Structure 1
Amino acid sequence: MIFNLYGIFMSDSYLSNRNSIRQKMRSLRNSINAKQQQKITKLLIKKLVSYLPIIQAKKIAIFLSIDGEPNTKPLIKVLLEENKQIFLPVIKSYVENDLIFINYTPKTPLILNTFGILEPIINKDNILNLSDLDVMLVPLVAFDRKGQRLGMGRGYYDRTLQNWQKYNFLPIGIAHDFQLVEKLPTAKWDIPLPIIITPSHIWQW
C-alpha cells in the first residue's frame, strides 16, 4: 500500500497518472532552448509587472527556477528595482517539511538544499510572517482549466497554501503555456490557485 505525506492511501493507477503528467511536462520544460526561455521570460515579466496585485504588492515571495521552469531571476531583478521586498522559500524539516520564506537581496548568501535548489541561509530576523505577505508566486508542473495545480509531488506548497485566505496573501502560479491540461487527477489535499499567469494569458478563477 502507498500513502502520501498526509497518510492518505493512493492507488498505483492514481500515482501513475500524476507521475506520467509530471514526466511529460518536465521533459517539455527541459526541451526549451535558451532563446525560447529568454522570450518566455520577457513576456511573463511584462504580464506580471503590469498586473495590479503585483503593482500594489510590497512583499512578494518567489522561487528560484530549476528544471526548465520559467526563469525568475530577471523577474526578481525587476521587482527589486521597483522597490519590492523579495522573499525566497526554504525547506525546513523542523516545521513539518513546510516552507518558510527568507528576505532576499542581491547580497543574500545562498546555499544548495538537498534537492539542488538554491535557498537563503536562515536568519531568524529575516523570516517572513505569512500574514505580512502580499503575493506568493508559486511554481507548478501542470495546471488545468479549473485552477488545479500539480506540483513536484512533495507537497511543500500545498501545505503552505492550505490557509492562504486566512493569511490574506494572494497566490499566483507561474507557468509555460503548454503546462495547461484539460483536467488533472486531484486529491482533497491539492490546493487550487485563484490565478495562474503564462506568457500569453492570465487565468483567473
Structure 2
Amino acid sequence: MIDLDKNEIRSSLLTQRGKLSKSEVESMSRKIVSSVQSHAEWKNAAEVLLYWPIKNEVDVTPLFRDALESGKKVYMPCCRRDEPGIMDFGVVRAEEDLLQGSFGIKEPCRSKCEFPDAISPDVMIIPGVGFDRKGYRIGFGGGYYDRFLAHPQKAGSLAVGVCYYFQLVDNIAVEEWDKPVQLICTDKDVIWPK
C-alpha cells in the first residue's frame, strides 16, 4: 500500500472495515480494549478522552463504562455544526448524556454536559481509518482529530490509536500539521512508535 495516496488507502480500508461481521468487530474490539486496559497509563488516568464508535470502528464502549465505574473524568467530542473540522469536548457522566449528533455519532448533549474551554486528558483514545507504525493516522478526511492533536498536550499525556491489525499500513504521507499517536493498540499487536 506504500504507493497509494491517502484517499486510496482510506477507501480501501473503509471497504475492508465495512465487510466485518458484528462478531468479528466484537471479538477484535475486545482484544484491543483489553490491551488498552492493561497499560498503567489507562489504570492511573484521572481524565480520559473517548469516542463513540460508528461504521465498524473499534468498539471502545467497554472503556467508556470502565472509565465511569472507576471514577475517571470522561471527555467525548462534539462537532461544531457551523465550523467543519472543529470539535468541542464535553464531560460525560452517563450514556444518557449522549445524543445522536453530527455524522450519526453519539455526542455529549450541549444542554446536559459541561464543555470546558480546554482539556488535557491523561489518556486520549484516538480512532483512525488507518495508522502506520510511526503513529501517523488517516481519518475520515475532515481533519477533526488532526486539529485536536496539533494542540500542545500536557506532559505525560498519552495519545493511543486504536485500530484492527489490517488497518496498519506501511507508510502514510505526512503533512506538516500531522501529529503521531504515542501508542497503537490492535487486536494482534501493541506498537510504541519511536
Partner of residue 55, structure 2: 67
Whether the aligned pair in 1 keeps the contact of 2:77 and 2:89 (CA below 8 Å) is yes
Query: Partners of 1:74 and 1:125 in 2: how far apart?
Result: 21
Q: How many residues end up aligned between the 2 structures? A: 190
C-alpha RMSD over aligned residues:
2.2
Q: Which has the higher contact order (CA 8 A, sep 6+)?
A: 2
Whether the aligned pair in 1 keeps the contact of 2:81 and 2:102 (CA below 8 Å) is no
Partner of residue 53, structure 1: 41
Query: Partners of 1:107 and 1:143 in 2: how far apart?
Result: 28
Whether the aligned pair in 1 keeps the contact of 2:89 and 2:119 (CA below 8 Å) is no
Query: Partners of 2:123 and 2:71 in 1: how far apart?
Result: 14
Partner of residue 159, structure 1: 147
Whether the aligned pair in 1 keeps the contact of 2:85 and 2:142 (CA below 8 Å) is no
Query: Partners of 1:48 and 1:39 in 2: how far apart?
Result: 15
Deviation at residue 163 of structure 1 after TM alignment: 2.3
Amino acid at match of 1:31: K
Whether the aligned pair in 2 keeps the contact of 1:87 and 1:128 (CA below 8 Å) is no
Could you tell me which runs of 5 or more consecutive residues in structure 1 were left unpaired when the two chains were aligned: 1-15
Please state whether the residue corresponding to 1:147 is helix, strand or coil.
Answer: coil
Alignment of 1:43-122 (within 5 A): 43-92=31-80, 97-122=85-110
More helix by share: 1
Residues 124-171 of structure 1: CA distance to partner in whole angstroms, max 9, x if unpaired?
861245454211111111111211111111111111111233576321
Point out the structure with max Rg over C-alpha: 1
Query: Which of 19, 25, 41 lines up with 2:7 in the alignment?
Result: 19
Residues 9-51 of structure 1: CA distance to partner in whole angstroms, max 9, x if unpaired?
xxxxxxx821111111111111111111111122112111111
Residues 69 and 107 of structure 1, relative CA distance in 2, 3 Å threshold: closer
Query: Partners of 1:17 and 1:50 in 2: how far apart?
Result: 34
43-52 vs 73-82, which deviates more? 73-82
Query: Partners of 1:129 and 1:200 in 2: how far apart?
Result: 37
Deviation at residue 98 of structure 1 after TM alignment: 2.0
Which 4+ stretches in 1 moved above 3 angstroms?
Answer: 93-97, 128-132, 164-168
Partner of residue 13, structure 1: none
Query: Which of 156, 164, 167 lines up with 1:176 in the alignment?
Result: 164
TM-score (norm 1): 0.83
Partner of residue 141, structure 1: 129
Deviation at residue 176 of structure 1 after TM alignment: 0.6
Query: Partners of 1:178 and 1:142 in 2: how far apart?
Result: 8
Could you tell me which runs of 5 or more consecutive residues in structure 2 were left unpaired when the two chains were aligned: none
Whether the aligned pair in 1 keeps the contact of 2:92 and 2:113 (CA below 8 Å) is no
